[in-house]
Amino acid sequence: MTSDSGAYETELLLRVRSEATRAAAFDELFIALRKQVFGVCLHITGNTADADDALQETFMAVSAGLPRFRGDSRLSTWVHRIAICAAIRVVSRRRDAADVHDVDPPSRGGDPVLASELAAQIARAMDQLSADHRVVLSLFAVDELSHAQIAEILGIPEGTVWSRLHCARKRLSAVLGSAAP
């Protein structure tokens, strides 16, 4: 869903509110948002297994909470907020298990080897950032999310989104720089 899908989301919300059409509407919501949500979870958690876990937790909560969803925010905003909470929870569980941080990026486009090596470095660097920084970078890594939507998801003004992103970018560069040989 992109920023100009507001009308579609309103229509979907109508179907979510009626019990007869809710299941089909949920399927549509899952198909429409799963890639974006997985992307956000992937960048926050840093590996596909944890992102998969967070993705499942997200849609479990969405399917359980959908009957009570009143449309106080856009559906996609709500789903992304749940995903952020789920991804952070999954990361804290992983730290508990004290697993070695596994990053698994193959790639295509450009130079695949260079891109995947850089993706691995980024995932390790992201792991050292604060949650605020990691979350804003992860949302901006999803091309389909506009900055207005990101501001809406985070519940902060657009100006604050840009300055938080700027801080996060500077931190990421610093960590990447210090990790470079």
Position of tokens 């604060």?
A: 130
- CB of 148 vs another protein, minimal distance in Å: 9
- Tell me the closest approach of the beta carbon of residue 21 to another protein, in angstroms: 19
DSSP string, the chain: --TT-HHHHHHHHHHHHSHHHHHHHHHHHHHHHHHHHHHHHHHHHSSHHHHHHHHHHHHHHHHHHGGG---SS-HHHHHHHHHHHHHHHHHHHHHHHT----------SS-HHHHHHHHHHHHHHHTTS-HHHHHHHHHHTSTT--HHHHHHHHTS-HHHHHHHHHHHHHHHHHHHHHH--
CB of 167 to another protein, least distance (A): 11
User: Is 7 near another protein (CB under 8 A)?
Assistant: no
Using CB under 8 A, which of 15, 107, 124, 128 touches another protein?
107
Q: Which of residues 116-145 bind another protein (CB under 8 A)?
A: 116, 118-119, 122-123, 130-132, 135, 140-143
- Residue 33 binding another protein, by CB under 8 A: no
| Rounded least distance, CB 138 to another protein, Å | 9
Nearer to another protein, 8 or 13 (CB): 13
26 binds another protein (CB under 8 A): no
25 binds another protein per the rule CB under 8 A: no
Distance (Å, whole) CA 172 – CA 16: 40
Site for another protein in 43-72 (CB under 8 A): 43, 48, 51-52, 55-57, 59-65, 68-70, 72
The least CB distance from residue 87 to another protein, in Å, is 10
Give the separation between CA 45 and CA 138, rounded to whole angstroms.
Answer: 10
Shortest Cβ 57–another protein spacing (Å): 7
Confirm or reject binding of residue 105 to another protein (CB under 8 A): yes
By CB under 8 A, residue 13 contacts another protein: no
